[in-house]
Chains A and B, each alone.
Chain A
Amino acid sequence: MRVPAFDEVWGSAGPDASREGFEALAAWIADTPPHELNRRQQAAEAAFRQLGITFAVYGEDEAAERIIPFDIVPRIFAASEWRNLKAGLEQRVEAINAFLADVYGPRRILRDGVLPAELVLANPQFRPQVAGSRPPHDVYAHICGIDMVRTGPNDFFVLEDNARTPSGVSYMLENREAMIRLCPELFEMFPVEPVDDYTDLLLSTLRSVAPHGRGSEPVCVLLTPGHFNSAFYEHSFLADAMGIELVESADLEVDDDIVWMRTIDGRVRVDVIYRRLDDDYIDPLVFRPDSMLGVPGLMAAYLGGNVTLANAPGTGIADDKAIYSYMPEIVRYYTGAEAKLPNVETWRCREKQALTYTLENLDKLVVKLVDGSGGYGMLVGPTASKAEIERFREALVAEPHRYIAQPTLALSTVPTLTEKGVAPRHVDFRPFCLSGADGIRIVPGGLTRVALREGSLVVNSSQGGGTKDSLILADRPRRRGKTTVPEVAPLRSGAD
């Protein structure tokens, strides 16, 4: 299917034109011979392969270790575009944290009928085990990866709020390292905001949410499910960059409701755990009893206020598909203002009018199961067969409350290196938002995923998706900071 789309560099007029402010990038794309782009791209991929960079986006099935294709042509956001995005993201993340504090606390939003109580309470992502307790400093979703899509110059939409254990930030950082090394001229041409202080900000965020009374240098660790996990590279990369211990469950033990790390020099008390495993697996005494990855007693330490878990247990209720459609109401409820970043228009088929509209427009809409996962139970109207559409019609009539419908979006494209030269490919964007005791921090950047197959709207790495660098331009003249081209700019080694 070919969807007419807005191109972020070329506009809607094709490669001979360019959008205002993007002339320089268009010229760089036009002037750099494809074989040179190819050479640089291969050099980057060779380096990634050597580092062993693999990752899978949250929600996908665990896949075999795999290098995700890298695209050498960067994406650029103007300073004003980023400013608007950032304000919208801050508002969204503020609302997500307020929502979590409320549903696990007084549940005002349910009593006020802003969204149906059963949508939260009957949802497996709502964890009664943490109801009535408060995390240190009342922060729940310390790290959020908000997935955005774009359809026009000023049309950004939130597609998904990832508030559990979002991954991909190592790609943001490694892609930038590679670009500085392989395309230094771009960083001379453009005043690019640096992203490399992300790990410093992450560490200060984690430290800021340590339990009260744990001093100015609380002990933070990163808890990984282990080297077989598809995001293990990212876990070791982040722990290394922050200078904190990378631990597995066997390295931790809970005693007297306090978490200790076993080291060769004895036990060290742990204050903050950046955990990269899901709620279900963190403590076999409270969640899945068959989990071999968790730490027995961890939840007792958490509920006792003796350790901070980032993200807090139970955040999955905020990024659930069933809750997503209510995010505009949730943002308004907690911030008192309209959402600066709109949702993708969503029809909740549980509502009669929405169901009628959906049934009348099945050939144009994407229909999703609210409790489906991994793309199971999804209808893409424009590409579906008549039989498929009729099957969904029957299912919708039988159980309308289980479905939502959205328009088929023409995702924006960005020039991308293909076998036939540079051509437009659809993209999405995942910026990373940090919430600490002292506020929200967002590094100017994010992970851009690109659907490498012509016309494809699916950016997932499992379906031919790749990544590219996302350059945020500074308002001010290019600053002489870490991002300027170093004389020698080797790729960072993740191992040491």
Chain B
Amino acid sequence: MRLRIEHRTHYEFSQPQRRLVQLLRVTPPSFDGQAVVDWHVEVDCDARLKRSRDGYGNEVTMLYVDGPIDRIALTVGGEVLTDDKAGMVQGAPEPLPVELFLRPTPQTIADAAITEFARDIAESAADPLSRLHGLCGALWRQIRFDAGDGNPHRDAASTFADGHGVCQDHAHVFVAAARVLGHPARYISGHLWRSDGQNVQPAAHAWAEAWVDGYGWIGFDPANGASPTDAYVRVAIGLDYRDAAPIAGARVGGGAETMHVEVAVAEAIQQRQSQSQ
């Protein structure tokens, strides 16, 4: 597919801010099955941008703004060509060894309930791949999607106990369960083109990848119960949300902030839309 993405983030502050510093992980890499045709990061005020790569290989943009400033709009987006690789990820930057992704983090600890859930599924699965697909499908059925749930600091165990959450919560539970079964697993932040026509969403997407010997990294989207296709644009990876989140920011100036996010993902070539539905 040829996908056009516009990811807009708008902040308003209750009082003028002296400074803003933000760390953005919003630029997708190119690899097998994902080619970034063009990409931009734009800010609607005077700002200094510095680009670099982090330890995971993610492209990072630092954003520095001097105040006084009481609002800022950030627009990132562009066009990406995608192929359906049945979830398999090849040719992406991989500076870190696979074993790193066995490490639980505070947000991805498998408690007794997640461990039992994961082991039950593992018992009924013939091989690692079907085990992970089983995990993905079961979480999709078991954890109800609830758009009003967004709390970026919630951990896997709370989500699993509550039985509902947003895509990043699904991803955290999947990662925790896969790791407890001995599969390296990681958190992915990115974008999803939806075939139901709801092309403007209030957040970016998130899913997971697990390592299977003989296959490599394979994507699993437990919020949708399936592996990523050419409708997915993969942006950043990490052990959990904290390492891969699109924006981490700090500001000097006190007061409160309101944030509004809008992500539009559309097919750049309209005629192909009917074929995909």
Contact = CB atoms under 8 A, between A and B. Distances in A.
Contacts of A127: 55
Contacts of B243: 128-129
A257 B250 contact: no
Contacts of A254: 21, 64
A415 B96 CA distance: 52
B248 A255 contact: no
Contacts of A79: none
B252 to A, nearest CB: 8
A304 B52 contact: yes
Contact of A128 (B21, B64, B100, B153): B100
A131 B153 CA distance: 25
Nearest to A300: B62
Given A128-B55, A285-B23, A303-B54, A296 B239 contact: no
A255 B239 CA distance: 28
A304 B56 CA distance: 15
B48 interface: yes
A132 B100 CA distance: 14
A285 B248 contact: yes
Interface residues of A, number: 30
B23 A300 contact: yes
A121 B54 contact: no
- Which of B21, B48, B52, B60 lies at the interface centre, i.e. has the most chain A CB atoms within 10 A of its CB? B21
Given A133-B55, A254-B64, A304-B52, A285 B97 contact: no
A131 B96 CA distance: 8
Contact of A132 (B95, B153, B239, B252): B95
B242 interface: yes
B21 A117 contact: no
Contacts of B22: 285
A21 B211 CA distance: 64
Contact of B48 (A126, A253, A256): A256
Contacts of A440: none
B55 A285 contact: no
A122 B180 CA distance: 13
B249 A285 contact: yes
Interface string A97-109: 0000000000100
Interface residues of B, number: 30
Given A285-B21, A285-B248, A296-B250, A130 B50 contact: no
B50 A304 contact: yes
B54 A255 contact: no
Given A128-B55, A129-B55, A256 B50 contact: yes
A286 interface: yes
A377 interface: no
A285 B50 CA distance: 15
Interface string B91-135: 000011101101101000000000000000000000000000000
Interface string B238-274: 0100110000111010000000000000000000000
Contacts of B141: none
A296 B21 contact: yes
Contacts of A487: none
Contact of B62 (A129, A131, A257): A257
Contacts of B96: 128, 131
Contact of B250 (A128, A256, A284): A284
B231 to A, nearest CB: 29
A122 B66 CA distance: 39
A117 B103 contact: no
Contact of B52 (A121, A253, A303): A303
A289 B64 contact: no
A303 B62 CA distance: 12
A300 B56 CA distance: 14
A300 B22 CA distance: 11
A117 B101 CA distance: 12
Nearest to A132: B95
Contacts of A117: 97, 99
Contact of B54 (A124, A129, A296): A129
Nearest to A126: B100
Nearest to B152: A289
A110 B243 CA distance: 24
Centre residue among A123, A128, A253, A303 by max chain B CB count within 10 A? A128
Contact of A121 (B50, B66, B100, B248): B100
Contacts of A121: 97, 99-100, 102-103
B181 to A, nearest CB: 15
A253 B100 CA distance: 32
B98 to A, nearest CB: 9
A118 interface: yes
Given A255-B64, A256-B64, A285-B21, A124 B52 contact: no
Nearest to B63: A297
Contact of B97 (A107, A130, A256, A296): A107
Interface centre among B23, B66, B153, B252 (most CB of A within 10 A): B23
B249 A128 contact: no
A128 B102 CA distance: 13
Interface string B43-82: 0000010101011100010101010000000000000000
B95 A131 contact: yes
Nearest to B102: A122
Contacts of B23: 285-286, 297, 300
B19 interface: yes
Given A117-B97, A253-B19, A285-B249, A128 B62 contact: no
Contacts of A285: 21-23, 248-250
Interface in A288-337: 289, 296-297, 300, 303-304
Nearest to A111: B97
B237 to A, nearest CB: 10
Contacts of B54: 129, 303
B55 A132 contact: yes
Interface string B8-22: 000000000001011
21 contacts: A118-B102, A121-B102, A122-B99, A122-B102, A124-B103, A127-B55, A128-B55, A128-B239, A129-B55, A129-B243, A133-B55, A253-B19, A253-B21, A253-B252, A254-B64, A257-B50, A284-B248, A285-B21, A289-B242, A297-B23, A300-B50
Given A128-B96, A255-B48, A296-B249, 20 more contacts: A107-B97, A110-B97, A117-B99, A118-B102, A121-B97, A121-B103, A122-B102, A123-B103, A128-B100, A129-B54, A131-B95, A253-B19, A253-B252, A254-B21, A285-B22, A285-B248, A285-B250, A289-B153, A297-B64, A304-B50
Interface of B: 19, 21-23, 48, 50, 52, 54-56, 60, 62, 64, 66, 95-97, 99-100, 102-103, 105, 153, 239, 242-243, 248-250, 252
The 7 closest A-B pairs by CB, nearest first: A296-B250, A131-B55, A285-B23, A285-B248, A296-B21, A121-B100, A122-B103
